[in-house]
Amino acid sequence: MSTSTIAAPPSTWRLDDTHSSVGFQIPYLANAFKGAFREFEGTLDVTDAGAKLSGAAKVASIDVKDENLAAHLQSPDFFDAEQYPELRFAADRVALDGESVEVDGEVTIKGVTRPVEATGTATGPLTDPHGNERIGLTLSATVDRTAFGVSWNAELPGGGQALGNEVTILAELYFVKAEQ
């Protein structure tokens, strides 16, 4: 596969958080459970040496349908929002192959930083009705939550456990080119 790093005039792209989403999906009982974060930020920096992608999500903004579940997910059993208020991501390699994109970086969850590879698609650039240049990145990555100390589980009466360990992180990112 021939890949190239994003090559463009040096530029900074800010995340349009109104239209973007950052969430996760995890096996739970007989299906997959999805959650998201309402507050996050991100930046895509294109330099002569390549592109860098970075971002953070606020744990306290976790968005699930029940407030008691949200409170449990923020407790020390899961993300421990008080001690570790942010999830972070930083990548200094963003490789394009047509519309496919591969991102090598590090994710920090509950204070633990580990390497992660995200893959997905890139769209654009295109110009929106207001004259802004936009690009889109749709990325997913899989991590083992127990490697980050997020290890709550519950035994099922018939054997096995309620919650899976492999978590898929899903990000639909809309970037707007910042004024130079």
Partner 1 sequence: MTKVLAISGSLRRDSHNTALLRAAAERAPSGVELELWDGLKAVPPYDEDDDGDLAPAAVTALRSAVAGADAVLFATPEYNHSIPGVLKNAVDWLSRPFTTNPLRNKPVAVVGASTGVFGAVWAQAELRKVLAATGARILDRELAVGQAADRIDGGRLTDDETADALADVLRELEAIVHAREAALTRAAA
Q: How far is the CB of 75 from partner 1 (least distance, A)?
A: 4
Q: How far is the CB of 72 from partner 1 (least distance, A)?
A: 7
Longest dimension (CA), the chain: 60
For partner 1, which is the closer residue by CB, 24 or 78?
A: 78
For partner 1, which is the closer residue by CB, 20 or 74?
A: 74
For partner 1, which is the closer residue by CB, 34 or 72?
A: 72
Selected binder of partner 1 within 4, 19, 29, 75 (CB under 8 A): 75
Q: Does residue 71 bind partner 1 (CB under 8 A)? A: yes
> 78-117: which residues touch partner 1 (CB under 8 A)?
80, 82-83, 85
Q: How far is the CB of 121 from partner 1 (least distance, A)?
A: 36
Q: Does residue 72 bind partner 1 (CB under 8 A)? A: yes
How many residues sit in the footprint of partner 1 (CB under 8 A)?
A: 14
Which helix (H) or strand (E) covers residue 72, if one does?
helix 67-74
| Residue 118, both tokens | 């995200």
Cα 124 to Cα 11, 60, 137: the distances in Å are 15, 32, 9
Residue-by-residue DSSP string for 135-169? EEEEEEEEEEGGGGT-----B-TTSSBSB-SEEEE
Q: Do 166 and 27 touch, CB atoms closer than 8 A?
A: yes
In sequence order, the β-bridge partners of residue 58 are: 86
Rounded-to-integer distance, Cα 4 and Cα 33, Å: 35
Interface residues with partner 1 (CB under 8 A) are 67-68, 70-72, 74-77, 80, 82-83, 85, 152
